[in-house]
Structure 1
Amino acid sequence: MVNTFIERNVADWKPTHKKLAELLLDPKTPLFQRYRALFSLKNLADKPSVDIIIQCLREEKESDLLLHELTYCLGQMKSKDAINVLCETMADPSLHAMVRHEAAESLGAISQLDTIPELEKFLNDDCKPLADTCLLAIEKIKYDHSPDKQKEDPAPEEAVHTSIDPVPATTNTKSIAELRTMLCDQEAPLWKRYRALFALRDINNDDAVHALAEAMETDVVSSLLRHEIGFVFGEMQNPASVPSLSRVLANTKEEPMVRHEAAEALGSVATPEVFEILKKFTDDPVKIVRDSCIVALDMFDYEQSGEFQYAIVPKEGEGEKAF
């Protein structure tokens, strides 16, 4: 099936697309290499790359972690061609909650008003991370199409991160104490807590890290929020987050989607002690967690290597020789 898809499309592709498709679509390829192939396609950001990622999302049967990452990349690429497969993924109860949640979040990233009715179908779903994500995605889409976005959003050259966030950072305050109070208020709307979360990420000093860590380790309301804190720790790459991330990864009572983000964040922070921390959990009984640790160790190697990007795209003119 993989070969049929590649053979059917290869005439319209560059050699790079063919090689990346072979790596990503082959379940025998080591997971960390499939990850790198995926992010190479994300960076290419063209139609063949979107088509290959969609094909993998439809075919993948073994790795919930990879399925989650495929849906994430389609959202970050803002591909309207991916809307149908993301809606199908969101609606499939056989899939892991982490995958369905990410499909909903990606619909929010693509931000088309006509996807709101699809998201509304799951606002009361028994899968709470999915229901909460749909609520945030609807709010984000409405925000994106409102005058508030033009008033509040920073100019592109002022933006701290290039990722499409599920919620915009609050602009009402830069006080870490106030943002911490907003974030740690477990009775506050999730939209408000998320906005404080991303504002603290953008500040990215040790006090901001400590506020985020407190919320990550004390919250009992939203695994979705706790997992998002893990994700932003990976973006921040602040060594002050390592103790908290290590405790979360080691907490077997924590939700797998939270432990997964803690593992990948540790790989991104990549301080010397991280390697041994991650190695301890590469045989974790929870597959998503142990797979995340394997990928995180590859991220650790990348961060230590000084490579330009976490990808395997060849240099111009090198074609398949670069592989």
Structure 2
Amino acid sequence: MTVDSIQITAEQYDQLETVLCNVNKKTPLTERFRALFSLKSVATPQAIDIIGRAFADPSALLKHELAYVLGQIKNSYAISKLVPVLENRDEHPMVRHEAAEALGAIGDPSAIPVLQTFLKDDSIEVRETCEIALDKLRFESTDQGQNVPHARFSSVDPAPGFVDEALPTVDELRHLLLDTRKPLFERYRAMFSLRNGGSEQCIAALADGLTYTEPSEGGSALFRHEIAYIFGQLQHPASVPALIRCLANAKEEGMVRHEAAEALGSIATPEAVKALQCHLNDPESVVRESCLVGLDMSEYEQSHELHYANALSKTTTS
């Protein structure tokens, strides 16, 4: 197996597993993230097995990221690693949500029964994620869903943007984005359409969606966390003020603030880095860890490294 013309050997798989699974109990979380994304690049069943074994770790942030990566690999082999995570009601809701989203990302209809099982889960984030994942799988089974062009982003998204449909303007997309009466899947489609547009007007509309709203007012932490994720993809400085406000909002859910921290790390402006440094001692562990990862990402963005997933560079030869 090769990644960027680098041969992956059995020994190198073992080294990546040693780092990701923190076998020596001393490996920094930032190094483990880089090992995880190196395994994502490899994307073999053996890499999926290693990622699956790392779910034994206590870090909710790491386990959330493991589930995300398994979804992005888009291999049905990973379903058996994800279903037990979703089924484990003792697991952090952020992790279970990501497992459900990953099942939708893989796109295998065999996941439909298990996703339906959790439509009435105690966690609203899990319920909403299963709803969106099921809508995505249904959409992909239609002629329209099978002919959605690829966006300029490499991610497997929980919902596709609109293409040649009757929502052409930013104002119309913003209206749908903020309409809590609409199904989340439709609002997500507006969200990803705005991401695909990428203008400052689009970013301003998305920033309106990131504003904290009480659940009783129709606010969804899942929805807001996805907007923060999108800002990390766009890497536009115009989103930094909204992300800083989100990270600093103690009322906001940890899953949203964590995503804001990682987005700030991707954008890596001086203001973004300063905000991350200010929250390194945050009371919430998932936020503290995300700030560490965000600062590591910002160092990468300001370096000359070709890939964030550079763990292989220490273990491979051409």
Same fold (TM over 0.5): yes
Which deviates further from its counterpart, 13-22 or 127-136?
13-22
Report the 3-state secondary structure (helix = DSSP H, G, I; strand = E; otherwise coil) of the residue aligned with 2:244. helix
Which residue is 2:191 aligned to?
197
Equivalent residue number for residue 95 of structure 2: 99
User: 1:321 deviation in Å?
Assistant: 6.9
Query: Aligned to 1:166, which of 149, 158, 168?
Result: 158
Q: What is the deviation of 1:28?
A: 2.3
Q: Which residue of 2 aligns with 1:213?
A: 207
How far off its partner does 1:96 sit? 0.6
**RMSD of equivalent CA atoms:** 1.6
After TM superposition, the structure 1 = structure 2 runs for residues 231-250 of structure 1, keeping only pairs within 5 Å, are: 231-250=229-248
Which residue identity lines up with residue 170 of structure 1 in the other structure? F
- Cα shift readout 1:101-131 (whole Å, capped 9, x = no counterpart): 0000000011111211100011011100000
The secondary structure found in structure 1 opposite 2:269 is coil
Q: Which residue is 1:4 aligned to? A: none
Distance 2:168 2:289 in 1: 37
CA contact (8 A) 2:15 2:315 kept: no
The unaligned stretches of length 5 or more in structure 1 are 1-11
Q: Cα deviation per residue 1:7-34 (whole Å; 9 max; x = unaligned)?
A: xxxxx95332121111111142100000
Mapped to 2, the partners of 1:209 and 1:218 lie a distance apart of 16
Whether 1:80 aligns to 2:76 is yes
Pick aligned residue for 1:184 from 178, 186, 192 = 178
Asked if the contact 2:35/2:312 (under 8 Å) is kept, the reply is: no
Structure with more contact order per residue of length (Cα contacts < 8 Å, sep ≥ 6): 2
CA offset digits 1:67-121 (Å, max 9, x no partner): 0000110110012222122111001111111000000000001111121110001
Structure 1 residue runs of 4+, over 6 Å off? none
Report the CA distance between 1:272 and its aligned residue: 1.7
Structure 1 CA distance for aligned equivalents of residues 64 and 229 of structure 2: 13
Does the 8 Å CA contact 1:15/1:320 hold for their aligned counterparts?
no
Count of matched residue pairs: 303
- 2:81 equivalent to 1:89: no
Q: Please list the CA deviations of residues 180-212 of structure 1 after superposition, one character each: whole Å capped at 9, or x if unmatched.
A: 000011221111110000000011111111100
Q: Paired residue for 2:128?
A: 132
Matched, 1:19 2:15: yes
Residue 273 in structure 1 maps to residue 263 in structure 2: no
Task: Find the aligned partners of 1:192 and 1:92 in 2 and give their Cα distance.
Answer: 29
Out of 40-49 and 65-74, give the one that drifted further: 40-49
The share of aligned pairs that are identical, in percent, is 45
How many Å separate the matches in 2 of 1:179 and 1:205? 13
CA contact (8 A) 2:174 2:206 kept: yes
Other structure's SS at 1:147 match: coil
Measure the CA separation in 1 of the matches of 2:202 and 2:159. Answer: 18
For the residues of structure 2 that align with 1:42 and 1:74, how far apart are their CA atoms? 8
Unaligned runs of 5+ in 2: 1-7
The 2-side partners of 1:68 and 1:228 are apart by 14
Instruction: Kindly indicate whether the alpha-carbon contact (under 8 Å) linking 1:238 and 1:269 is maintained by their aligned counterparts in 2.
Output: yes
Letter of the 1:303 counterpart: E
The amino acid that maps onto 1:206 is E
Q: Is the 8 A contact 1:275 1:297 kept in 2?
A: yes
Q: Is the 8 A contact 2:212 2:252 kept in 1?
A: no
Residues 321 and 199 of structure 1, relative CA distance in 2, 3 Å threshold: same
- 8 Å CA contact retained: 1:36, 1:312: yes
Contact 1:264 1:296 in 2 (8 A): yes
Residue 145 of structure 2 aligns with an amino acid whose one-letter code is K
TM superposition score normalised by structure 1: 0.90
The answer (yes or no) to whether the contact 1:219–1:226 under 8 Å persists in 2 is no
